[in-house]
Amino acid sequence: MKFLGFAGFKRKKPKVGLALGGGGARGFSHLGALKAFEEYGLDFDYVCGTSAGSLVGAFYAAGYNFKQIFDIAKTIKTKDIRTSKLFFVPSKTEGIEKIITDNLGDINIEDLKKPFSAVAVDIKSTNEVCITKGNLAKAVAGSCCVPGIFQPVEFGDRLLCDGGLQNTMPADIPKLMGCDYVVAVDVNKSRTYGTSSTKMLDVLACTIRILMKGNVVKGYVNGDVVLKPETKRFKSTSTEGYLDMIEEGYREAIDRMSEILTLFQGRAPKKKVELKEENFEII
């Protein structure tokens, strides 16, 4: 009998999750990262997203490729983001729900091809909620529900708002769901959170960035590879330059691909996920 030793040892395939962060229109950069992943044949085991990341992630989890998601995303205009003409009269998230239902139908999260969760905040309990089942369109709309711009979304007995208020880049979620490694994509506006604009929408966006400041750092702690496309020159409230945003996401993913491949090969040290605080629910 031939002694195989280490030559006969087969490394167990690691589970790798993808976490797509919030950032409004800068979420176009997520598409560039997906394009790079597709070119390298990477197949993630779990997908989660916050705000804009949940919208992109939902289509990716449904089995859509880069071209299919791009064709949908390029129809989104600035006016769709700036839904409310009156700053103090928030509008509904029906536009976001329509993007989902027009393309995927009235589908539940558990019917997607890949395990998926959307991160939101329940303003009744003030808890962060990780939505793993139920109506996909409602879950994504809730995750994208920016306070002051959109009305909170009813989801069962909960009222959902933008998940970025508590978990902008949810790199911890895939690990809580059993993944060994996580690739996270941060499309926030670099480390600069201020603004010199006096426009109401820009001031609101700046205020939210300040509130999110601490939880972005948590994403870097929990992510094994964190991609940071150069998004400083883009606004979260405008789709202008969306092709450049996609290119930035693609460039960053390609530049970091050797690190990402190490995760898929199971050759990187594993980070221990930080324990969630009490104000967290999986639903």
Q: 75-128, pLDDT tens digit by residue?
A: 875 444 444 333 344 445 567 888 899 999 999 999 999 999 999 999 999 999
Q: Is residue 279 part of a domain?
A: no
Q: Is the pLDDT confidence value at 254 over 70?
A: yes
pLDDT at 243: 83
Q: Is residue 282 part of a domain?
A: no
pLDDT at 68: 95
Among 45, 122, 162, 186, the one annotated catalytic: 162
3-state secondary structure of 63: coil
Rounded mean pLDDT of 201-218?
A: 65
pLDDT at 90: 44
Rounded mean pLDDT of 65-77?
A: 87
Q: Is residue 217 part of a domain?
A: yes
Among 51, 117, 143, 236, the one annotated catalytic: 51
Q: Is residue 191 part of a domain?
A: yes
Q: Is 224 one of the catalytic residues?
A: no
Give the residue numbers spanning the domain of 69. 14-269
pLDDT at 158: 93
Q: Is residue 124 part of a domain?
A: yes
Q: What percent of the chain has pLDDT over 90?
A: 48
Q: Is residue 8 part of a domain?
A: no
Cβ atoms within 10 Å of 233's Cβ, excluding its own: 11
Q: Is residue 53 part of a domain?
A: yes
H, E, C per residue of 80-98: HHCCCCCCCCCECCHHHHH
| CA nearest to 216, candidates 189, 238, 242, 177 | 189
Q: What total of structural domains would you count in the chain?
A: 1
pLDDT at 86: 35
Rounded mean pLDDT of 249-264?
A: 96
Q: 118-170, pLDDT tens digit by residue?
A: 999 999 999 999 999 999 999 999 999 887 777 889 999 999 989 888 898 89
Which CATH number covers residue 245? 3.40.1090.10
Q: In this structure, which amino acid lies at residue 254?
A: I
**What is the pLDDT confidence band of residue 192, given thresholds at 50, 70 and 90?**
low
Q: Is the pLDDT confidence value at 267 over 50?
A: yes
| CA nearest to 230, candidates 29, 5, 6 | 29
**What is the pLDDT confidence band of residue 6, given thresholds at 50, 70 and 90?**
very low
What contacts 210, CB < 8 A, 6 or more positions away?
A: 193
Q: Is residue 2 part of a domain?
A: no
Q: Is 162 one of the catalytic residues?
A: yes
